[in-house]
Structure 1
Amino acid sequence: MSAASDGPVVFDPADFGAIPRSVELRRWMRKVRRGKADRTFWQQFEDVYLVIFALAMLGATGGNVVRHLNNKSAACSSASCGWLLDTVPWILVPLLVSWMLRVLLSVGPVSASRATGFWLLATPVDRGALLRPAYRLVIVVAAVMGALAAVIGFALFGAGWSTVGEAALLTVLLLVGTACATVWAQQVPARGRWALRIADLLLVVAAVPALILATQAGKKTSPESLETLSMFAYSEVNSGLSDYQVRLLVTAVVVVVLGGALVFFTARTLARLPKQSVVAGGDLLAGMAGAAITMDVSLLADVVAGRHWRTVGRLKSRRGRGERVQAIIHREFLRVLRWPRRLVVGAGLLVVPYAVAGTGYDVLVPIAAGFAGFAATRPLMDGLRSVCRSTGLVRALGMDLKDLRVAMSVVPGGFVLLWTLAASPALGSAPTTFAVAAGILTGVVRQASARPPSYAGPLVASPMGAIPPGLFSQPIRGFDLLLLCLLPVLFGWPPLWCYVIPGIVLAIMFSIRPKTA
């Protein structure tokens, strides 16, 4: 072997051929897929027709419901309704942007499968061109979600359809810009951390108008204020249809120009996305798809948590304290503190009961508080979820599973207590607060300690095909106990029952041994 051949291998297009373009690769893959397809055009058309028909029926039904509620809300002429309509954007928009930032940053937002990362992204092929279809899908999803959220959010509170149209256009622009910002943040890990801090700050921003709305809704309004409000509403409605059309057209043009510019300039930076982040997002989507197929909500939370800890890598270990139960409680407390952003999100969800209380729908406040508290507390139950799904881990800890469930529920139980005490002014009474707290705690404990989905037994025929019966009960585990504890509150029973029924549910939950797989 000559000395010249001992050096590093240098890529030369003359030896291997020209680098193919992304368009050529997609055309070749499409040709291969079509060559292996075994379904006729009419079979595919039948499936597409069913999906389109189902979406049309759902859209028509939902549209009629929203229009009916809009007409009922628009008939309200009190100052409270005016305050509500003026305050809704300051609550809805920060929550939408915060939610979009968190969801997209947890996924990527631009993602690719592991096969794509191994066979294509590791080659000299233009990475930006390969990732452009996934990027377009993210932008389309952000635009559709923005339009739907604005239409539903503003129409439910009685806004005029002119206001709804403008709000939908501006919300689409805002969420498309948010999606572009997450793509930009995906390129450098430090940017992603700053984006998550901004999402936490937006939760605090949304909490302020919700508290103001809750305090203003109960105040009496003078006839002068009602007259001023009615004059303002009259001038807005009768300001001229042509002016509205011009304003809506100008808004649409501005949204298209600014949104198109943001999408275009962000697409030119796709080549800077690291392969590790793109492939990690693809693995997360694959895991979420598997969790969705099995209807296992806990598995879905585990997939998201696993993605977070893989990006963190490692942390500084701390020495434990105490023995047995005391040591487990201390370790659970440290585990919760290792991911403090979940506590911030849980505190931000206090906006929900106060906002619902501010709307005047007092009967919905316990339900809203229960589901918001459930969403705030469930991420803190990862330790119990891991123990209940691993028989070997239970044996290694040397304790009975019932005792472990009680010990690992102490820290989340303390969080539930603090959360419901903070929400008690919106809930209104001590019995209601106790029922909500008991429902949240028993619900999250039941869902975290539930067994994996069971595939035993005969299959049940459904329009989606044969489904194991064990999958039907999987999504409602936890929520059933929450609604059971809220039952005396929703039916207006005496306060004694608001203590008795949730207390019995709590006693049964922590006295029986959870079933293992």
Structure 2
Amino acid sequence: MSSADGPVQFDPADFGTIPSSRALRQWMRTTRRRHADRSFWQIFEDIYLVLFTLAMAGATGGNVVHHLNNNAARCTSWSCGELIQWMPWIIIPLLLATTLRMLLAIGPVSATRASGFWLLATPVSRSALLRPAYRLVVATVSVAGFVVGALIWALLGAPLLEVLGVAVLISALLVCTAMVTVWAQQTTPRSRWTLRVADLLLIAAVIPAVILAFHKRSSSTAGSSFVGVQTYTDLVDEYGHVTLGLRAVPHSSVSSSGQSHVLLLLGAVAVVVAVVLAFVTSRTLAGLSRTSVIAGGELLAGLAGAASSLDISMLGDVISGRHWRLKGRVRSRRGRGARGAAIVQREFLRVLRWPRRLVIGAALLVVPYAVAGAGFHVLVPIAAGFAGFVAVRPLLDGLRTACRSTGLVRALGMDLRELRVVMAVVPGLTAILWSVLAAPAIGDGAATFAVAAGIIAGSVRQASGRPPSYGGPLVTSPMGAIPPGLFSQPARGFDLLLVCLAPVLFNLSSTWVLAIPAFVLTIMFAIRPKTD
């Protein structure tokens, strides 16, 4: 074997001095500034508009959260105490699992194809080149974790010190989780095992939600049989005596202050651990392969393109396409049946080849049970409808591909209307099973049927929708000229879901709750979807 077949040895005497990453980034920054065609004031105007919008939205949202925090703090019932007791066991595993899955789907450390081709292939230190993207991930996760933790505990009526302590603790935990994803990104087996841990965390979040919902239902049933005791308790409270019965005693200020200080101490310890772990992980960035880093950059570019077209379905397609490209190949299986039966069998196999989507769909059962456990029984159907929509929609990739490809429809030899019915069998059965499992939280058979019908109708409509239309006159907006066909993209699918749930939300009779969703399903599957 000649020396040309071996790896290239970079000798400074032959190729010149290898620049440092800092010098290379400084040269790139100088080159970009030389080609800049916008003045400082033009850039400042855009930044000012963004900051002003964020300030207005933050002030409005902060006022709403403050009002809800005061209302929740005045709640001293038994159900409020149970909710505060069980909520950490639901929220924390859910946040950890969501962080693991989202970051592993992106990378989390990513780079563009140009950077991967021109920079990562050079002898320049790969750790130094990837460190800015790594720091951006750490900063984004820490800020997002702090905001989400503060909002959740503020809505539960916690005092300010407790909200601050929980927010710091959750932020540090999510940063540690991000470090785990960076470590897992370096090899495929690590990523596979990390995803399994994320699935276990999703399942772990469902268990306390189910316990809370059934405990809430049993306590409400028991409370209805002790009306006399509760009335006597109210009378005793009116005269200032000691509270007895089912009403919980609110926490004292001393115990609340002590708990807040403990949370702040735990948050400080978690921050120290997160900083040390972030420093240690930053020294292992050289182990990241160019394939995984570039794949994350391509995914972000695809997501940005899908978001710019306001096509929600395309977001799922981008993630699905990346999954199958990384998977590479699957074991082929012989089909069974003919025409519609064969397509149903192939769709069933398609779902089984990516079983993690079923795990995520099962974990989304936490949403209706958590809402029911929180006492918002009026909102349980709509929460179950949207959660079921998110669980079932990824199973309709085959229908979306067929509706976007006229040649594939002709090759299958079926009309597009018949094809939509056939390809909706497996997702429809999944939606029915999901609704049946959520029925104890929904609490009514007619409402459960409306939820299942809304999930099927909404997900099928979104999957079989036409591509975004860029024709027609442009509409002026603060973001520039926008084609009017883009405005209907985000609402497609959710409109039928809300129509099916409208009788439940308006508390109509069971006849209307059954008739309107059945009518929506009949009309949708009877009409041939448009392809142009």
Q: Deviations over 1:201-249 (max 9, x none)?
A: 0111111110111122230468777689426x01xx13586x6786566
CA contact (8 A) 2:450 2:501 kept: yes
**TM-score, normalisation: structure 1:** 0.96
Q: Secondary structure at the match of 2:481?
A: strand
| Corresponding residue for residue 254 of structure 2 | 238
Task: Write the mapping of 1:389-400 to structure 2, written as runs, cut at 5 A.
Answer: 389-400=404-415
Distance 1:359 1:245 in 2: 23
Distance 2:199 2:413 in 1: 39
Q: Secondary structure at the match of 2:249?
A: helix
Q: Deviations over 1:434-455 (max 9, x none)?
A: 1111100000000000000000
Q: Secondary structure at the match of 1:51?
A: helix
Task: Write the mapping of 1:11-410 to structure 2, written as runs, cut at 5 A.
Answer: 11-218=10-217, 219=219, 220=222, 229-230=248-249, 233-234=251-252, 237-239=253-255, 247=262, 250-410=265-425
Deviation at 1:162, TM superposition (A): 2.1
Distance 2:288 2:247 in 1: 54
Deviation at 1:418, TM superposition (A): 0.5
Unaligned runs of 5+ in 1: none
Distance 1:103 1:462 in 2: 31
Deviation at 1:158, TM superposition (A): 1.6
| Corresponding residue for residue 463 of structure 2 | 448
Q: Secondary structure at the match of 1:25?
A: helix
* One-letter amino acid of the counterpart of residue 249, structure 2: S
Q: Secondary structure at the match of 1:461?
A: strand
Q: Deviations over 1:16-68 (max 9, x none)?
A: 11111110111001001100011111111111111111111111111111110
Distance 1:495 1:15 in 2: 83
Q: Deviations over 1:88-122 (max 9, x none)?
A: 11101111011111100001000000000000001
Distance 2:478 2:485 in 1: 17
* One-letter amino acid of the counterpart of residue 464, structure 2: S
Distance 2:256 2:298 in 1: 53
Q: Secondary structure at the match of 1:452?
A: coil
Deviation at 1:160, TM superposition (A): 2.1
Deviation at 1:155, TM superposition (A): 1.3
6 and 392 in structure 1: CA distance in 2 versus 1, 3 angstrom threshold = closer
Distance 2:126 2:14 in 1: 22
| Corresponding residue for residue 459 of structure 1 | 474
* One-letter amino acid of the counterpart of residue 499, structure 1: L
CA contact (8 A) 1:85 1:158 kept: no
124 and 343 in structure 1: CA distance in 2 versus 1, 3 angstrom threshold = same
Deviation at 1:6, TM superposition (A): 7.7
The answer to whether structure 1 residue 434 and structure 2 residue 446 are counterparts is: no
Distance 2:3 2:210 in 1: 74
Deviation at 1:253, TM superposition (A): 3.5
115 and 50 in structure 1: CA distance in 2 versus 1, 3 angstrom threshold = same
Deviation at 1:164, TM superposition (A): 1.1
What is the percent sequence identity of the aligned residues? 61
CA contact (8 A) 1:85 1:159 kept: no
Deviation at 1:260, TM superposition (A): 1.0
Distance 2:244 2:110 in 1: 53
Deviation at 1:250, TM superposition (A): 3.5
Distance 1:226 1:186 in 2: 55
459 and 240 in structure 1: CA distance in 2 versus 1, 3 angstrom threshold = closer
Q: Secondary structure at the match of 1:238?
A: helix
Deviation at 1:354, TM superposition (A): 0.8
**TM-score, normalisation: structure 2:** 0.93
Distance 2:518 2:360 in 1: 28
* One-letter amino acid of the counterpart of residue 358, structure 1: G
205 and 226 in structure 1: CA distance in 2 versus 1, 3 angstrom threshold = farther
CA contact (8 A) 2:367 2:384 kept: yes
Distance 1:442 1:240 in 2: 48
Distance 1:296 1:7 in 2: 48
Distance 1:418 1:251 in 2: 42
Distance 1:512 1:127 in 2: 55
Deviation at 1:262, TM superposition (A): 1.1
Deviation at 1:257, TM superposition (A): 1.6
The answer to whether structure 1 residue 479 and structure 2 residue 494 are counterparts is: yes
CA contact (8 A) 1:435 1:502 kept: yes
Distance 1:240 1:515 in 2: 60
What RMSD over aligned residues (CA atoms) do the two structures have, in Å?
A: 1.8
Deviation at 1:12, TM superposition (A): 1.6
124 and 238 in structure 1: CA distance in 2 versus 1, 3 angstrom threshold = same
CA contact (8 A) 2:77 2:247 kept: no
